[in-house]
Amino acid sequence: MTESLFWIHRDQIYAKELEIGFSTFSIGHLVWLLAIAVGCYLSGRLYRRLDERGRDNMRKICALTILLLEAAKTIVLGLFHVNSIEFLPLHLCSVGGLATVVYAMWPQSKNWLGQLFAYAFFPTALLAVIFPSTTMYPWWNFYCLHTFVFHALILAYFVWLFMSCEVRPNYRGLLLSSIFMVLFSIPIYCINGTFGVNYMFIGTRSDVGILAMLWDKLTPDYGRIGFTIALGCILFAVLHLFFLVYRLIGKLQDRVHSVPGE
């Protein structure tokens, strides 16, 4: 039974009406969040101390690991005949995974791609682990483990860039990222409506509690378009909070670096 639960997919769980998942902010979830936070910080300190060659190797290893994780997921989907249309790289976090490869191979892209990491990929990956969409799974399940590890690598990747001051988030980057997400969401909205999928969580009611509550509140009166616009406005406001946090941490970093002997 344990082995079968490791490979079981969400569709099978719902079809069999199994209650084998976990609760958001349960002990297991909090342990995952703590482990991710500690891992990001410690690996960020290591990255900051390395020379450029060492940093380049870390970026490439992380990007390669993300590619291998995605390849493993594709193989598992095929072996167990899971409908793979909902697993195309059309979520922001999936694009973020591909972006780690681009950055690793082309670090000169940091002036614009680094800003997308700060305001598009890092915030969405952070929300993905704080409010996971995998709560229907048991902890020892391939899709659950894949989700946490995949997003943790994206989070760590940006933490490295930020802690080393390779990327300094700015307000122009916030606006650039907002425009990118709007332009990206338009075809995604159409794809969701055509194929009944839920990329970027703007297609159907989500398994994520906070998004499900917003969906139930808005769609009866304003439809899917109203939900999408409201979600975009909320995200735009949240990005301003990230901007303020980045500015505060950046000033602290500058103050530390300006101290003689540091």
Q: What is the pLDDT of residues 229-261, one digit of tens each?
A: 999 999 999 999 999 999 999 888 777 766 554
- Stretch 16-41: mean pLDDT, rounded? 95
Domain count, the chain: 1
Count of all residues that appear for the chain in the document: 262
CB atoms within 10 A of CB 203: 20
Quick one: pLDDT band at residue 1, thresholds 50, 70, 90? very low
Mean pLDDT of 127-133: 93
* Single-letter amino acid code for the residue at 191: I
Residues 129, 151: Cα–Cα separation, whole Å: 7
The answer on pLDDT for 14 being more than 50 is yes
Closest among 254, 247, 225 to 174, alpha carbons compared: 247
Distance CA 42, CA 228 (A): 37
**Contact at 8 Å (CB) between 169 and 57?**
no
pLDDT at residue number 150: 97
Euclidean distance between CA atoms 159 and 33, whole angstroms? 15
Average pLDDT, rounded, for the chain: 92
Give whole-number Cα distances, 223 to 36, 113, 186, 230, in Å: 36, 33, 16, 11
Please check the confidence at residue 21 and state whether its pLDDT lies above 70. Answer: yes
**Nearest alpha-carbon partner for 174 in 259, 239, 80, 257:** 239
Determine how many CB atoms are found less than 10 A away from the CB of residue 199: 23
- For residue 96, the tally of other CB atoms under 10 A from its CB is 26
Q: Which pairs count as long-range contacts for 77-80, CB under 8 Å and 24+ apart, including other chains? A: 80/7, 80/9
pLDDT of residue 262: 42
Phi-psi region of 206 (alpha: psi -120 to 50; beta: other; left: phi over 0): beta
Whole-number pLDDT of residue 244: 97
Give tens-digit pLDDT for 172-198: 999 999 999 999 999 999 999 999 899
Phi-psi region of 8 (alpha: psi -120 to 50; beta: other; left: phi over 0): beta
Over residues 31-59, the pLDDT tens digits come to: 999 999 999 999 999 999 999 999 999 99
pTM comes to: 0.92
d(C-alpha 85, C-alpha 205), whole Å: 17
pLDDT for position 259: 55
Segments forming the whole domain that contains residue 138 = 2-258
What confidence category does residue 81 fall into, taking pLDDT thresholds of 50, 70 and 90?
confident
